[in-house]
Structure 1
Amino acid sequence: MIQLTSKVGGSTEENLGNLNHLNNFSKIDANYALALSNAENNSLELPQQDLNFKHTGTLSCRSNPCVNFGDEALEAKIQPGKGSKVNGFDSDAPKILIVDDHAASRMTAVALLAMEGYEVIEADSGSTAIELVTQKQPDLILLDVMMPGLDGFEVCQLLKQDEHTRLIPIIFVTALNDRRSRIRGIEVGADDFLSKPFDRVELAARVKSLVRQKRLNEDLDHAEQVLFSIARSIESRDPNTGDHCERLAKLGKAFGEYLNLSRNQIRDLMWGGYLHDIGKVGIPDSVLLKKGKLTPEEWNIMRQHVLIGEKICQPLRSMQGVIPIIRHHHERWDGSGYPDGLIGENIPYLAQVFQIIDIYDALTSERPYKLAFSPEEALAVMQEETAKGWRNPQLMQQFEEFIRNSKQQ
């Protein structure tokens, strides 16, 4: 939400707020809050009894894990019962993809990992590995460096550049003293290295550690996607704002780069574009959907959306840089904003930056109740509000220079 202009009477927020209503969800599944909390608790590695997960199902292993070593055969059949753990993992046995053009090397790794309870998949070339990763979605890849066609470096680079496979850990298999391969592996994104011949204890420890980390990362990634899905759902139900969130993310990136902000700060600004009004999910329909002017009591309810949004995002550590934007993007430089009435530099800097781009986008966008202002008109309105004491004068000047420079490019 935003605080607009004296030209249309009162604050921007009050003029747009009555019309800029979002349809809230009638009910939030109680499991949503639990999922966010559990994802964060997992990253802290709390005891299992403190995590309210329920695991069922039978773990499967390699269908035919019989591996011949000369005249001897090693049979590794894993048949854990329902709800049991295999190698410390619940529900399903992690999938390990072994990529090596030498059958004997694959056979050794297959035998060792099958004995540890993993489901093992094999690939004899880089191109086959790429196909299997797409089809099977393994939890970890044990990747030989030297292979005909696509070598290990190329396979790793392709997978790490793809957003759908970048979280899969990759362990490079190298010669004992192959320093050059290890350096190249680090450059293309390898997560770890193992030397031949395999040490069973070392192999098991490295695989287990990386698979656990991958699953924790996925939990956090999924929780973040839940938040963004809710935010997009809120926006899609509002006929007034169009692609407001998408525009804010792009404008936040561009202005953040202009201000020479750090990569993480720019990311937080972009995420703030999507999540700043997520708290409206908790505002009653009678307030959000009211067509007339809101009463003072209803405005008090509406203003709770920043606090609700903060609580929704609080469980995730990855959102800690976004939370100040969510809570404080309605504060004013002179202390007349909400929810805390912060004054001047007490307002978090990213919240100040975000508020300016939020207001500018609202002014320059067409709404059912107004035409889009030109950039010059929008900047004039914002300068009027700055003169009233609502904005950071220095930041407003930087934003005006940014807009004028952008127009000239």
Structure 2
Amino acid sequence: MLIVNIIDILFYRAFLSKIYLTAGVDYRFLSPDAVQELAGLDPPADAVLVQDSYAGCDCRDLLGTIREVGRKAGRELPTLCLRPFEEGAHQEHHACQILGPEVIPVNRLTLAGVLAELKAAAQARQPVAGPRKILFVDAGRTLLHVVRAALTSSGFRVVSARNAEDALALCRRHAFELVLTSVLLPGMSGLELCRKLKEDNAGPYLPVVMLSSSDNALDMDTAFNYGADDYLLKSFTAEMLSKKVSEHLDIAERKRHNKILVVDDSKLTREMLRHNFVKNGHCVLTAENGAKALEIALAEQPDVVVTDIEMPEMDGYELCERLRKHPELRNTLVVIMSARGHASDIKRGERLGVSRYFVKPFDVEKMHLVVEQLLGESYRHIKKEHEHVLSSMSALITALEARDEYTKGHTARVSRMAMRLGRAMGLGERELRNLEIGSNLHDIGKIGVRDAVLLKPGRLSPEEYAVIQEHAVIGAEILRPIASLAPVLPLILLHHERWDGRGYPTAISGEDIPQGARIIAIADAFDAMTTDRPYRKGMPLTHALGVIRDEAGRQFCPICAEAFLAMLDGEAAAVSEDLADEPA
């Protein structure tokens, strides 16, 4: 969801950014004299926030422009009016009625709740994500063709600009996921472009990768000093470029999901750290004492807690002790910052499992680098554990499929198709990781089904079909003791549920079924329809897609089915090759 803010008071930007980042909402700021740019935004705005008054223009004129943009787009554009916190509900309502009945009054306490409602409505309108957009900046055409060839095949859309000025104009109108720019550009250099993007970007974190023919260490250092996220020589291969772009998008996605809780009774320290972390793409929460921090931690489960020691109500040491007593928070990374620099204080922190100890005053940039290092180490540990679980379970799946020649390769095909669909629907990194594990283990419960039923060459009797249905519950029970697989269990248990509530084992329906389970259901059914079984031949691809189209809203989630059909539109040949490549 994208909310555009027509703001001319600088102070509003700070607290609005904080609310949007916490709510996971994309946002953009426009000055009142740039309101015409609202019509050219891509993606388009889902809502607009205006002030109750402006220094140089009439708020009603702005609202007229906003209504005109919505009319041309064929929909009503929700408009929020930021009101003073001290106003009562009656005053807010009366003031906004003057501007128009569709204007929604909000203040700094009510805005988050209104955003949650608008976000849900926006997600319902746009269930399928489009290709991710990359901005490429270079004066030549040859390198553009190379970059497009490398990235388009990986699902990216490359938009080009020939100079820094055009690139900045494009960034004001479009939401890009990453910028690739040459160092040498006509006019403003790529280095200056990078600096301006980093300084002026009011939206989500935007990675910038510099491209250069120079491998001089001084040139590389200069690029990083200007704010570049990476430096790539122009002798890159297509695979190298695609991998590098995917790597930075994964990092940006992780940053958007990582939550950092900053705890200090000094508002100046809290805001200084919050600003630094937000600038670098993280979601930041703040608390003024340990008691409030514990309350927030229990609700939000942050990845890192950066806390002072000496605070009212509950100090930093007690906060650490309380965090370690809660099972869901005991592995939370903790960084302490304090004016107390005695060895005994540092040792006490170590006994409480504190990862780093900073003595005030400290370098804020160094704090940011240490926190990112801790998050990176935690991610690599989780990823390694994830790979270990997958390899262990793959051995079990291989043993299971060896019992039945006709289902050999089924799990790999379902996993591959589920991951393609998950990416097409814009799932985040954590959801994709859970989907990969869930789709690989969706049939593990069949280990508990006797061969006489599982390998029967003909159709199953009602009693035998009931036995087969137990595999979803058996699979979840097998994996339940593995704590790290807790988020995956619902996908394994519920991947045979139907949208209309006629599935098994719980007969739940609609959005009560987890999204991952709905995705696996389509991938599983598609593979079952298109592969041979002892009692029938596999369906032609077009026939199978027709079944999914007909069953959307009955057996299958309509949003997942729409995304699946859109994903395979024009790819029939590629899917046929995938099926043909599998071992017989």
Q: What TM-score does the superposition give when structure 2 sets the normalisation length?
A: 0.32
Structure of greater relative contact order (alpha carbons < 8 Å, 6+ residues apart): 1
Q: What TM-score does the superposition give when structure 1 sets the normalisation length?
A: 0.45
